[in-house]
Amino acid sequence: MAVTAVRLWRAALDQDGDPHRWLSHDERARAARYASPEEGRRFAVARAVLRSVLGEACGLAPEEVVLGTEDGGRPIIVPCDEHPPPDFNLSHSGRWALIAVAPPGFRVGVDLEWDGRDVDCLAMARTMFQPAEFRRLAVLDGVARRREFFRLWTAKEAYVKADGAGVAGLRAVLVDGATARSSAPSAGFPAALPVRWFAAAPGYPAALVVSGGGSGGPSGPLVPADRFLES
């Protein structure tokens, strides 16, 4: 089986430096709209590191990377020449961000969550999960329930982010073993894909889904490389 050359970067969001110098006008405006200055800065750092990673992948300066969206809102790189750009996905929660980059022809989805946040696991699962997933959580309690909740949530998020369905598609996804299956995938997108789980940092469970090339995703341990805001 071929191995998909997906690369992962982990970025610390509480760090010094000026992230805004690389951001577009829209990104600066989005950062300013956050209710908390701390969260606004974390968003700005995540986007700056994303631009650094994508600029390196495309041979461009970070501020030269042009980002757009598909019709459904999924972020993409707008090609600057005749060569197709790589695919990417960004997830950030709490103090960390994860960036996944895949070669042209692949679609990648990644999600990480801070498991220390206050979450009513059963209430969220009742509205966002499949009945079988809810029943799986209901028989657990305490740490075991939270661990299973975030295992399911990160897998479902990673799938819909690769698909482009967004949060609205979460309820259609069933995590069965190490596979995420959707009853309503987007046209041409696989209904079932393998999921890879890993710890992005202590207290930050994460999941990765890759579509394309017939590989089913990378093999071996998933260890994100640290990426910090460069001066």
Check: CATH 3.40.50.150 for 7-226?
A: no
Ranges of each domain in the chain: 7-226
Percent of the chain with pLDDT over 70: 94
pLDDT confidence of residue 2: 42
Phi and psi for 2 in degrees, rounded to 5? -70, 155
What is the pTM (predicted TM-score) of this model? 0.92
- For 88-139, the pLDDT digits (tens) are 999 999 999 999 999 999 999 999 999 998 999 999 999 999 999 999 999 9
Helix (H, G, I), strand (E, B) or coil at 8: strand
Residue 24 C-alpha from the chain's centroid? 21
Which amino acid, 73? Answer: G
For 176-227, write each residue's pLDDT tens digit.
999 999 999 999 999 999 999 999 999 999 999 999 865 445 556 677 888 8
b/e sequence 170-192, b meaning 16+ C-beta within 10 Å: bbbbbbeeeebbbeebbeebbee
Of 221, 200, 218, nearest to 13 by C-alpha is: 200
Please, where are the H alpha helices in 67-220? 121-128, 131-138, 142-163
Tens digits of per-residue pLDDT, 184-198?
999 999 999 999 999
Q: pLDDT tens digits for 25-76?
A: 999 999 999 999 999 999 999 999 999 999 999 999 999 999 999 988 999 9
Structure tokens at 221: 């341990």
The rounded mean pLDDT for the chain is 91
Can you give the pLDDT at residue 231? Answer: 41
